[in-house]
Amino acid sequence: MEQAYQRALNFVHNMPAFSSVPGVFRIKRLLQYLGNPQEQLKFVHIAGTNGKGSTAAMCAAAFQEAGYKTGLYISPFIIDFRERFQIDGEMISKHEFVELYIQVRDAYERITAEGLECNEYDFITALAFLYFRRNHCDIVCLEVGLGGDADATNIIPPPEAAVITKISYDHMKVLGNTIQQIAKAKAGIIKHGSPCICYPDQTKEVLEVIMQTCAMVQSPLILPNMYQTEILRCDENGTIFLYGGREYHLKLLGKHQIDNAITAIETLRNLKTLQLTEQQIANGIAKATFPARMEILQHDPIVVLDGAHNPNGFAALAKSIRMFQCSPKIGVCGVLKDKSYQQELALLDGVLDHLVVTNVDSRRGLAAEELKNVAEGNHFQVSLSDYPQQAYQQAIKLAGKQGGVFIFGSLFLAADLRKYLQKEKL
């Protein structure tokens, strides 16, 4: 089975990641040959720049708490490709992946013969729909891959709820150069007859686009009220807060997760047909976890892994690092060359004591030497290690027993070091 799985995985990874012409027309045809499994499922559809994964994880945990068989489709994965396809917290098995791959490949060959060039994301999204239908999921938390309107996931019928998380600048070559263009692309998941729940702290320009879209398609807009929140505790041990007078607990670290949580809460309260109790919602929020989101991997010294890879993510990262009492605070960072790394590193000025820069295992990775040159303009010490594992070991020495190590900059780096640290524990 392992060989069959690797062959299937190689086939998928050898496809183009995305297509030059955006749109859902390819997956539409692909799914027609597969019996349109998406039309037999219910979804919570989640788009945005930051917070999609955390919000999806909270919603999924609450659905499981309520006894619903819950699918979760995320993008990207951290360690194992199969993380992208989950039911009730368990990844798809290699055996089932291969079985479904064969079905999708047959449909893929038919549309290829018709002149349509399917990409990897179309292929695996179709596979995900088959997987969730085959296992009779009651609800699927569906995270958008890129944008919204032209994303392959947007082939679904009107969902139980369309969720828009924090929108900021990212993927500008694809989505547009203005925040309005980016917001318009992400608002493309809003559909007639489905409520839209919007992250509470959007810019005026983004909120205007969301409101216009909701009015145009006649979708009720729900805005969580962040002024009804009261933080009782927010530290490295988790968060306790009040929302509308009700107490909620969060394992996910950082004040920004409170806004993600109230977005999830309002989503779960305003579903089109499914119903959850307030206690089920609170219990689910309390149980939610997500890898590489201010994830504590070890103590003495404390090691924290975060997937921050855009300016908004770095701003949240900076606030979260400040809540840790450890000293000194050492960063390990590697980035992709198409990111706003100069702006991002500036957000950590005054937050870190020392930064170790390294290379990222990706063709898009920025050379560590170039990142070092940029980082040296800030008020923290900078050093370089060519390889992530060496950078981590250097950071551990610099931190000592009383310090902390914070890993960030790219999900490629997060995946590499998370896998390394898990092996160290064995």
* pLDDT tens-digit map of 279-315: 999 999 999 998 888 899 988 899 999 987 778 888 8
- The pLDDT of residue 175 is above 80: no
* pLDDT tens-digit map of 94-141: 999 999 999 999 999 999 999 998 999 999 999 999 999 999 999 999
pLDDT of residue 173: 58
> Do residues 195 and 155 touch, judged by C-beta distance below 8 A?
no
* pLDDT tens-digit map of 208-253: 999 999 999 999 999 999 999 999 999 888 999 999 999 999 999 9
CA-CA distance, 262 to 246, in Å (whole number)? 11
CA-CA distance, 174 to 147, in Å (whole number)? 8
Give the range among 6-20, 94-108, 260-274 with minimum mean pLDDT. 6-20
The residues facing 221 across adjacent strands are: 196
pLDDT band of 171, cuts 50, 70, 90: low
Map residue 230 onto helix, strand or coil.
strand
pLDDT of residue 425: 58
Give the residue-averaged pLDDT of 152-164: 97
pLDDT of residue 423: 74
**Angle formed at CA 154 by CA 151 and CA 160, multiple of 5 degrees:** 140
Query: How many CB atoms are closer than 10 A to CB 244?
Result: 13
Give the residue-averaged pLDDT of 6-16: 93
Q: Rounded to 5 degrees, what are φ and ψ at 297? A: -95, -25
Burial of 108 per CB tally in 10 Å (0-12, 13-18, 19+): buried
pLDDT band of 426, cuts 50, 70, 90: very low
Question: What's the CA dihedral at 377, 380, 386, 389 to 10 degrees?
Answer: -150
